[in-house]
Amino acid sequence: MKINFAAPRSLKSGTIVLPVSEGRKLTSAGQVLDRKSGGALTRAMAASRFKGRGEEHLAVLAPAKLGVARVLLIGIGKGDGERNLVQRNGGVIVAQLNAAGETEATVMVEEPGEAGARAAANLAFGARLRAYRFDKYRTKEKPEAKPTLANLTFQVKDPAAAKREFATLDKVAEAICFTRDIVSEPANVIYPETLAARALSLRKLGVEVEVLDEKKMQALGMGALLGVGQGSERPSRLVVMQWKGAPKAKNKAPIAFVGKGVTFDTGGISIKPADGMWDMKWDMGGAGVVIGLMMALAGRKANVNVVGIGGLVENMPDGNAQRPGDIVTSMSGQTIEVLNTDAEGRLVLADALWYCQDRFKPQFMVDLATLTGAIIIALGTEHAGLFSNDDKLASQLAAAGLATGEKLWRLPLGEAYDKMMDSDAADIKNISGGRDAGSITAATFIERFVNKLPWAHLDIAGVTWSKRDTAITPKGATAFGVRLLDRFVADNYER
């Protein structure tokens, strides 16, 4: 689908998309078209349940006088230009046009100046995200199942300004689609070495990328991470990415993001049930988001210095696999009793986080992980879990979540939970041994490998994959976290 920006002009083909505010209030352009159609738009709204509320839509076959195939009315609510709603409406437009089999359409954006340019750009951003498809392995598909929309044009008073505004958003959209691709790939295609290769592709954007192999990690003492992958024929990797977008601040500590990258999780010897195990291809979602974030920041030339790290492993149950009851030594020197080999993501993060703070001395660290099923029980698929030892950092992340619609909900940490992770045989055990507070105790485990550095943990297990279409996310990989963290960086840490 090609996205265009153009000055207002009359149309003679395709579909016209018109915004309508609450109370069925047409814009001035809509009123002109309504009069030209003999009141057909007003009559269609009156005969329907369409009120103009946000994301509502109504398709009207256009009278011959209009010279186009149809008119699609899109509800914009109060019409205050709220960014998330504008983006969602962009997605709704694409979904409805494809459902109708339309090939070209024009969206009428009437706001003047900067407001119009911003609205057009955000509509286009939402449209781009909703148009995403992961279909590379489909060899047979009915024509009616394929998207038809080839050209989407936004008519706006200042198309050049809209195009400039969209250029930055488009870099973020590109990174989101890149992340969705990574997370959607099957585990026979994406495994530690090939995921590292995807990260290496960011070098063309100016990102410095290193890949640590097992020999290097062994020398660093990463027994926790390496223990997870020792049952797999696929060797583990640690990806280290640096975006140095603020060279004048080279003497200031960078900010850092760390992701869990378990490219497939069988559970190891503590094997998972067969039903649903196929979903575990996206257990590397945290690392995928960190790679996507680095792509977004580099793509839009963010004025900030950032470190991104992904711990990449495959958790398999062969004769050399880690056993329940094994004790490993982490890079920090702390020993870990592995009571359950399916609680592996926290072991990966233990060494990845320690490596990050030991080498880079960052201002703070944020980790992302599809860590626990318990977070889905607690929060469902509407929020990711947020845990932090720093109120300022937690507030900044929560605000970015609200601003982008990728919402976070903070849960507690504390000494009582920390004591639950004490081991009788080692410094710490990797599960508490009970069902209580599963997401909290997992976060508490990770906290032991953070020292006093400001840190936040995002448990994204419930939001990494969607089982249904939403306004800007087709069913499948969501790339939840790329928009959130890009906004978090832009609002708080760019100079």
Among residues 25, 70, 83, 272, the one annotated as catalytic is: 272
Annotation marks residue 346 as catalytic = yes
Closest CA to 442 of 382, 490, 371: 371
* Among 346, 429, 483, 487, the one annotated catalytic: 346
**Helical pair 482-492 and 285-299, crossing angle rounded to 10 deg:** 50
Name the token pair of 18.
């018109």
- Phi–psi pair at 200, nearest 5 degrees: -65, -25
301 is catalytic: no
Order of strands across the sheet with 428-429? 326-329, 335-338, 428-429
Spatial distance between the Cα atoms of 461 and 472, rounded to a whole number of angstroms:
19
Residue with tokens 């200042």: 158
The residues annotated with a catalytic role in the active site are 272, 346
